[in-house]
């Protein structure tokens, strides 16, 4: 029998990867393509999240098709119970099967990963293609593997986690095969494909795990694919899924100074070919200010939406975040995009370890100026990811709290009112989950209207949605200042919030649906809500 590898994406809920990006887990997709290019090993992929499979159901598939090596992607801690359950079943039936973990969480926190999933044999730290391929080659040939660069494992003699010398980063990304698009997604209609146009990041925001993750290896962190390589991949995907239009780039800053020349070439190639693509990119305010001409060309090439890392409305906090931008830069960037007719979304953290009550006022002032507000903007919190500078600094002053879920670690602020606000938001989501989810439907629906050219309708609904969300936040913020948190009182606050605002939510849903029907989290139009239904 041929040597067999099974790559697994665990069934992990959460918003770290958008639910409507029904393409692939890029990590295992890249590994599979690399292995198949350089060997004749059998590679199977099980995307348990896409198929909504339990660990036992995946185990059942492995019983029918045993593997010599399991490679499991573990982006977040929340996967640990699912993975541990699968690993225990596999090791009981197939004790010689090698189980390797990869992706952000185990790379940045190997000690914790081994504690959570003791049946794992190894961890692939950082960029995985070369390390994982060397591991499976050594296993297939019966060779020692514990010396391989980029590997972590437990030395059973001393009961200690050993992390080997780090692997060098792949500098020329164009030599890599295109990720394997392994899911059957029909003709590509109403889908969004994620494209990796670069790896690493030139910046060093204290909360972001991208730089620490790639920093585990050696060599320049930011590597950029050529414009031709990116376009070739998109054309192959278009040929496979003939109605595919939407592409989102995973690059942290698609138009940064280091990527600008490539972005110009890419945009010109698209314009010359007159392709009917819709593009979404991530960037930052400073890059927007320096790229007006480029943005006009990208819009002509199909750019419909830009994601901005705005993060906060207080300059002192932006400086602590190491953003190298100003509040005024962020406002100007939003204005530039608005004048160019390019839709924008943005990252925003209402609560950070440094946030005071006065900072909340600064944040609301900024949100009113830049608009395009989602409920996630007004309640989002900075979380602490192992390996990041903010995690390390908070650890040094004993302000880190292990949450044991998707959000890794958290902290307490110095404000009782902010702490109460966090409890109210948590209770609102627990007691009225449909109410909270419908805000996402509205926000996404307005974005869809803009991408489809329905600007007049979108502008009207955007105005109403901005007012609604600020009203909801203002209500919760005022209640957070009236008394100390008690669970029963927070439930009452949530009920009153629902009663006060549910009709306006229903109204916006009804206005959006005739123009831009899109799947809500339950893949159907949200039901009209009333107090009696809850």
The count of other CB atoms within 10 Å of the CB of residue 44 is 16
Examine residue 126 and state whether it is found in any structural domain, yes or no. yes
Examine residue 455 and state whether it is found in any structural domain, yes or no. yes
Examine residue 257 and state whether it is found in any structural domain, yes or no. no
Examine residue 205 and state whether it is found in any structural domain, yes or no. no
Cβ atoms 269, 231 nearer than 8 A:
yes
Phi-psi region of 13 (alpha: psi -120 to 50; beta: other; left: phi over 0): beta
Kindly report the CATH number assigned to the domain that includes residue 9: 3.40.50.280
Examine residue 434 and state whether it is found in any structural domain, yes or no. yes
| Cα(241)–Cα(189) distance, integer angstroms | 8
| Cα(116)–Cα(408) distance, integer angstroms | 13
Examine residue 18 and state whether it is found in any structural domain, yes or no. yes
Final residue of a structural domain among 112, 130, 163:
163
Cβ atoms 353, 316 nearer than 8 A:
no
pLDDT score for 488: 72
| Cα(308)–Cα(289) distance, integer angstroms | 12
| Cα(106)–Cα(125) distance, integer angstroms | 7
For residue 410, report the phi and psi dihedrals to the nearest 5 degrees.
-135, -160
Final residue of a structural domain among 163, 188, 220:
163
Final residue of a structural domain among 100, 134, 163:
163
Cβ atoms 99, 120 nearer than 8 A:
yes
Helical H runs in 244-321? 260-273, 285-289, 292-301, 315-320
pLDDT score for 354: 96
Containing domain of residue 122, as a range? Answer: 4-163
| Beta bridge partners of residue 410, listed in sequence order | 401
| Predicted confidence pLDDT, tens digits, the chain (534 residues) | 789 999 999 997 654 344 444 568 999 999 999 999 999 999 999 999 988 899 999 999 999 999 999 999 998 888 899 999 999 999 999 999 999 999 999 999 899 999 999 999 999 999 999 999 999 999 999 999 999 999 999 998 888 999 999 999 999 999 999 999 988 667 777 678 999 999 999 899 999 989 989 988 888 899 999 999 999 999 999 998 888 899 999 999 999 999 999 999 999 999 999 888 999 999 999 999 999 999 999 999 999 999 999 999 999 999 999 999 999 999 999 999 999 999 999 999 999 999 999 999 999 999 999 999 999 999 999 988 878 899 888 887 767 776 555 456 889 999 999 999 999 999 999 999 999 999 999 999 999 899 888 999 999 999 999 999 999 999 999 999 886 666 678 999 999 999 999 999 999 999 987 765 444 433 333 444 443 333
Positive/negative CA dihedral, 497, 498, 502, 508: positive
User: Model-level pTM greater than 0.85?
Assistant: yes
Residue with structure tokens 């009333």? 530
| Cα(453)–Cα(304) distance, integer angstroms | 10
List Cα–Cα distances, 527 to 33, 86, 429, 513, in angstroms: 42, 36, 17, 12
Q: How many CA atoms lie within 13 A of 56 on its CB side?
A: 0
Cβ atoms 379, 343 nearer than 8 A:
no
The count of other CB atoms within 10 Å of the CB of residue 123 is 27
List Cα–Cα distances, 119 to 92, 113, 148, 253, 404, in angstroms: 10, 10, 20, 38, 19
Examine residue 139 and state whether it is found in any structural domain, yes or no. yes
pLDDT score for 529: 41
Instruction: Provide the number of structural domains found in the chain.
Output: 2
Examine residue 295 and state whether it is found in any structural domain, yes or no. no
Cβ atoms 436, 428 nearer than 8 A:
yes
pLDDT score for 11: 92
Question: What single-letter DSSP state applies at residue 182?
Answer: -
For residue 193, report the phi and psi dihedrals to the nearest 5 degrees.
-100, 135
């Amino acid at each position: 029998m041929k040597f067999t590898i099974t790559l697994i994406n665990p069934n992990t809920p959460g918003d770290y990867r958008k639910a409507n990006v029904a393409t692939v887990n890029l990590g295992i997709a890249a590994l599979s393509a690399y292995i198949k290019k350089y060997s004749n090993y059998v590679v199977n992929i099980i995307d348990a999240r896409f198929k909504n499979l339990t660990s036992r159901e995946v185990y059942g598939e492995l019983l029918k098709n045993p593997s010599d090596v399991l490679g499991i992607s573990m982006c977040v801690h929340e996967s640990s119970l699912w993975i541990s359950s699968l690993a225990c079943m596999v090791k009981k039936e197939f004790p010689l099967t090698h189980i390797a973990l990869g992706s952000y969480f185990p790379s940045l926190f190997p000690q914790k990963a081994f504690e959570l999933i003791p049946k794992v044999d190894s961890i692939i730290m950082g960029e995985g293609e070369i390390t994982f391929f060397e591991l499976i080659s050594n296993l297939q040939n019966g060779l020692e593997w514990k010396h391989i660069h980029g590997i972590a494992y437990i030395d059973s003699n001393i009961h200690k986690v050993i992390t080997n010398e780090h692997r060098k980063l792949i500098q020329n990304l164009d030599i890599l095969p295109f990720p394997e698009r392994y899911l059957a997604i029909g003709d590509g209609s109403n889908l969004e494909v994620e494209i990796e146009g670069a790896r690493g990041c030139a910046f060093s925001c204290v909360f972001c795990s991208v730089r620490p993750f790639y920093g585990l290896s050696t060599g320049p962190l930011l590597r950029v694919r050529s414009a031709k390589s990116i376009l070739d991949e998109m054309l192959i995907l278009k040929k496979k899924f003939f109605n595919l239009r939407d592409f989102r780039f995973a690059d942290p800053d698609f138009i940064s100074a280091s990527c600008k020349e490539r972005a110009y070439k890419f945009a010109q190639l698209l314009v010359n070919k007159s392709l009917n693509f819709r593009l979404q990119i991530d960037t930052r305010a400073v890059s927007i200010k320096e790229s007006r001409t480029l943005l006009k060309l990208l819009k002509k090439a199909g750019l419909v939406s830009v994601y901005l890392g705005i993060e906060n409305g207080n300059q002192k906090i932006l400086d602590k975040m190491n953003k190298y931008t100003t509040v005024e830069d962020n406002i100007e960037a939003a204005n530039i995009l608005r004048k160019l007719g390019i839709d924008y979304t943005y990252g925003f953290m209402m609560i950070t370890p440094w946030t005071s009550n006065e900072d909340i006022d600064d944040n609301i002032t900024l949100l009113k100026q830049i608009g395009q507000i989602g409920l996630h903007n007004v309640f989002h919190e900075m979380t602490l990811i192992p390996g990041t500078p903010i995690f390390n600094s908070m650890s040094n002053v004993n302000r880190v709290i292990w949450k044991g879920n998707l959000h890794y670690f958290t902290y307490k602020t110095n404000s009782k009112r902010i702490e109460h606000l966090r409890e109210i938001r948590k209770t609102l989501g627990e007691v009225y989950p449909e109410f909270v989810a419908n805000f996402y439907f509205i926000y996404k629906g307005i974005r869809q209207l803009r991408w489809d050219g329905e600007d007049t309708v979108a502008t009207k609904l955007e105005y109403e949605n901005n007012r609604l969300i600020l009203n909801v936040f203002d209500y919760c913020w005022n209640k957070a200042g009236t008394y100390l948190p008690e669970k029963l009182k927070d439930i009452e606050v949530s009920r009153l919030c629902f009663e006060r605002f549910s009709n306006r939510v229903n109204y916006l849903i009804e206005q959006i649906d005739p123009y831009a029907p899109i799947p809500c989290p339950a893949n159907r139009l949200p039901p009209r809500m009333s107090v009696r239904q809850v």
